[in-house]
A and B are shown apart, each in its own frame.
Chain A
Amino acid sequence: MSDEAAVGAHEVEQHETWIGPDPLIYTTSPARSPKIPGPPGRRAPELLEMTIDGVPVMVPKGSSILAACRAQGIDIPTLCHGETVEPEGVCRLCVVDSGGKVLTPSCSAKVSQGMNVNTENERVRHSRKLVLELLASSVDVDLAGPALPDQTIATYMARYGADPERFGPRGGAAAANERDERHAGHHHITDGSTAETVAQPVKIDNDLYIRDYSKCILCYKCVEACGVDAQNSFAISVAGRGFDARISTEFNVGLPESACVYCGNCINVCPTGALMFKSEFDLREAGEWRPEEQKVTNTICPYCGVGCTLQLHVQDNSIVKVLSPAGSEVTSGNLCVKGRFGFDFVQVRPKGQREG
């Protein structure tokens, strides 16, 4: 990226701590003064000097290490990071070496003056490999990856030489709701012959979306989206402790009994497919889910005056799921129950006109 072509930081305002999506990164060589004027009324961000993989760069104060690295074209894998939710920094896949006693989670740690970051040394590679092995040995990560730059976890498993099998054969699935009843501080003593997993039956308690916690990596994003980061419904929380921690409503009641308002914003942020439209789940179960044949149509939600951007995913001339782009200025990826699930009427056509 040439100096002049550096992306403008005009969107960035001065904040003590930046709580929105990562600011666009402004980079230039330290020798030049960054004199790209922002739009009227907006100030360019204060810049800091730091070193990423040996290259001196300037980055806006308040941005995350992850954003700074990605602006340099550096590929850092993430799972629990999401553009629209406050970073929790719990999956530890994005760790980098900033010279400290321990590694630094790049998604939640902010850049600082003079910081020297190494994004891919032996130490970093070791931890990423182990994190991938630990996850893949305990969780079904087949669908994980929407937040990864190249959309698939397998690439990274290969890149870091992750071998989840070395912890032994996968243990069996828990009975329905058994994991939800486990008591903190107590667990069934293992003989070590198999590697314990979070496998369990899918929770299907409504017609709109399913919860397959065999795929849950406990990234906390759905809790954040249900809570203060988007919906403020607080229908779900993390319950239990340690390996038995799980996403749960109070006393594991079904969603219809909970505070859930079916906005589906949790589905939008889920990086592993643990939360899924019922329509998508049914098609997958039937072996008829064919994303390569799907047509994605951008439109505006017809229900109210807000004007939310909808992305209709259409397969065989039927809407199979509705998303909203995380980058949308109107929605930041969030919708309400009507925009998200209220699409049936589109598909109700007079008899005789349904095919073709």
Chain B
Amino acid sequence: MDLRIADIVPSPAERDAIDGFLTPLIGPARGGWDGGAFDVAVDGRVARGGHDGRSNRTLLLPVFHAVMDRVGYISPAALAHICRRLTVPPAEAYGVASFYALFVTNPQPRAVAHVCDDMACRLAGAEKVCADLERDLGPAGHPPEGATMTWHRSPCLGQCERAPAALVTVAGETPIRTSDGPNDAARIVERLTDGLHGQDDHDPLEGPLGTAPTDERMAMLRRIIPQAGGPGLRLLARVGRIDPTSLTDYLANDGYRALRAAIEIGPERVIEEVITAEVLGRGGAAFPAGRKWASARATQAWPKNIVCNADEAEPGTFKDRAILEEDPFSLVEAMTIAGFAVGAELGFVYLRGEYPLAEARLQHAIDAARERGLLGADVMSAGFAFDIEIRRGGGAYVCGEGTAIYESIEGKRGEPRNKAARSTTAGLFQKPTVLNNVETLANVPSIILEGGTAYANLGTKGSKGHKLFSISGHVERPGVYEAEFGITLRDLIDLAGGIAGGKAVKAINLGGAAGVFVGPEALHMPLTFEHAKEAGATLGAGAIVVFDETTDILDILRRIAEFFRDESCGQCVPCRVGTVRQEELLARLAAGRPRGSVADEIALLNDLGIAMRDASICGLGQTANDALASGLKLHGVLEGVGA
């Protein structure tokens, strides 16, 4: 490509970050045209084209992260150097960088706190934390002159069981990224200060609980995953019992038995078992996983890809994090089985950027597996190749959408595809692709070991197996819970210790922002895909946020409207403008100043909802009205508004 790129020189740190990351992958710069020193005697006489001059755009997000981690923001000089190295037009690269919330294109301090003010954290006092931070550090994103740290508000960080949560990032030679809670403003400032001073003794694998499977750790872990170590678990069976950084532990606890069995029975039988198991996708769409696998295997195009959707950004959802942090090898094994069955040689885990501990542990697991010959050119010496690459998301909820995730991996703005072909025909890089959620894949080893028929005996007619639920809000013991499909909402909430403080339930959010609100009358509902559908609700990815009688539901709804306004990709009109109009409407209701009557506002919201559902490109816009509409219908929510 003939690109015009500004002639600005990156700082040594920027050059280090960019070339340090890219050179091992694509080799050093070959001359002045792609980022090296320009020598007219040489560079004036070469022309590179075709394969040699191809764009390496797919590396755009990873290299942006490298610069963010090292320098803390992406300067024009850094962008120009990246564009030379990857052969990407600067305007396009800027379009990508400015799409993602975690990439910053203006100078900011090295230490940054991202403070969650979404549903669960809101109930736990996030607004107070934000107000205190504003007092101590200045307005969000606008630090006073010379400040060493700043803060931003953030959508759900997936740490709802330890609300209020905050992600702290400190850029530098040893970058620090930690996500933890609960926090108050003082604790956040302390974490930022520690980060600025104590970069040497930071071990990203450790996390707040360490890794060694001791009784003490198990006790602490039960505050996050209360069933840990308990009986009858399938998806969480190993959680707490093994060191998540030890392949030896994993192997001693049934690890890699399923892959061995899969190799014995062959790819066709593997797919048959998954089809027989009737396992439905756990990311929200509930599509039969086996059919995806069969279809991708049948497509005559190569190379094929496996993509694991670990972009767990739905507010109130954090169940995949439990697997990623505590049993990462199981995901590696499951993806390898998927690759073997489908005939794919490369798998991507698209992991949300706000999960640093999950990333560190999964990366460690991938490296350990590769070292042991469980990934690589000849997996288990069984004559097939498979490897896994982690792609860190950039802070964009929409990238969890089934085609935006491919665009993002390809180094583009995370805009859902409009004329989407089927993934299994033309998905990632327009090649056959299987896209599965973390939890869906986590079901695979047990299906292979027990057989699809045995698996299909679990659960109900339309929802087989066990399900992970993320329970947060006003319950005694928020956390990740595993239960067989068919458990009632009430029993599940009881499992989490019931309503905190013995209060009454006002509302329950099922499925997060893209889900719906139900009232206490839904407590008897069995949690299955079919029962939820029948009740006009949804399970989504299994988020359950409980609100007691004291909750200001309008405030929660308003936050959800803000969320969609922030997270819409902006491509299509119904969603881009519709989410703004929804937010304005909710703001009027929350302030008690409806335009016309409350009934007028509800009618307007309904009109918007129909068009957003019918005419938006993707699921984000199509569901952005559901939580609001269902929430406003709850008993007593609109009481006193505009009276």
Instruction: Enumerate chain A interface residues (CB-CB to B < 8 A).
Output: 88-93, 95, 102-103, 105, 108-109, 123, 126-127, 129-131, 134-135, 137-138, 166-168, 181, 183-187, 189-196, 217-218, 227, 232-245, 248-251, 253, 257-259
Contacts and interface: CB of A to CB of B under 8 A. Distances in A.
Interface in B592-623: 593, 595, 604, 607-608, 610-611, 613-617, 622
Contacts of B567: 185, 241-242
Contact of B94 (A93, A131, A248): A248
Given A134-B577, A193-B588, A243 B570 contact: yes
Interface string B104-131: 1110000000000000000000000000
Contacts of A186: 101, 140-141, 152-153, 566
A185 to B, nearest CB: 3
A90 B572 contact: yes
A218 B576 contact: yes
Given A184-B98, A241-B98, A92 B616 contact: yes
A257 B580 contact: no
Interface string B515-544: 000000000000000000000000000000
Contact of A241 (B92, B570, B595): B570
Contacts of B584: 167-168, 190, 192, 194-196
A126 B610 contact: yes
B76 interface: yes
A123 B622 CA distance: 15
B100 interface: yes
B422 interface: no
B468 interface: no
Interface string B543-574: 00000000000000000001001111111111
A237 B584 CA distance: 28
Nearest to B575: A242
Contacts of A235: 4, 89, 91
A234 B91 contact: yes
A192 B615 contact: no
B566 A135 contact: no
B419 A237 contact: no
B591 interface: yes
Given A109-B419, A184-B101, A227-B92, 18 more contacts: A92-B617, A105-B418, A130-B607, A184-B395, A185-B395, A192-B587, A192-B588, A193-B588, A195-B580, A233-B4, A236-B91, A240-B99, A243-B568, A245-B569, A245-B570, A249-B94, A251-B79, A259-B90
B498 to A, nearest CB: 35
Contacts of A102: 613-616, 622
Given A168-B595, A183-B104, A192-B587, A259 B580 contact: no
B617 A89 contact: yes
Contacts of A218: 570-571, 576
A242 B604 contact: no
Given A126-B610, A191-B587, A91 B572 contact: yes
A44 B103 CA distance: 51
Interface string B395-407: 1100000000000
Contact of A90 (B396, B418, B565): B418
B579 interface: yes
Contact size range, B: 35 or more
A237 B611 contact: no
A226 B194 CA distance: 48
Nearest to A86: B419
Give the 3 A-B CB pairs with smallest separation, nearest first: A185-B101, A245-B570, A234-B89
B562 A189 contact: yes
A195 B3 CA distance: 40
A234 B580 CA distance: 30
A228 B418 CA distance: 18
Contact of A183 (B93, B141, B568): B141
A235 B93 CA distance: 11
B583 interface: yes
B66 interface: no
Contact of A259 (B3, B570, B573): B3
Contacts of B141: 183, 186
A90 B94 CA distance: 21
B79 A192 contact: no
B581 interface: yes
A184 B396 contact: yes
A183 B595 CA distance: 30
B170 interface: no
B91 A185 contact: no
A127 B413 contact: no
Contact of B617 (A90, A126, A238, A244): A90
A238 B576 CA distance: 14
B478 interface: no
A222 to B, nearest CB: 11
B352 to A, nearest CB: 13
A185 B579 CA distance: 13
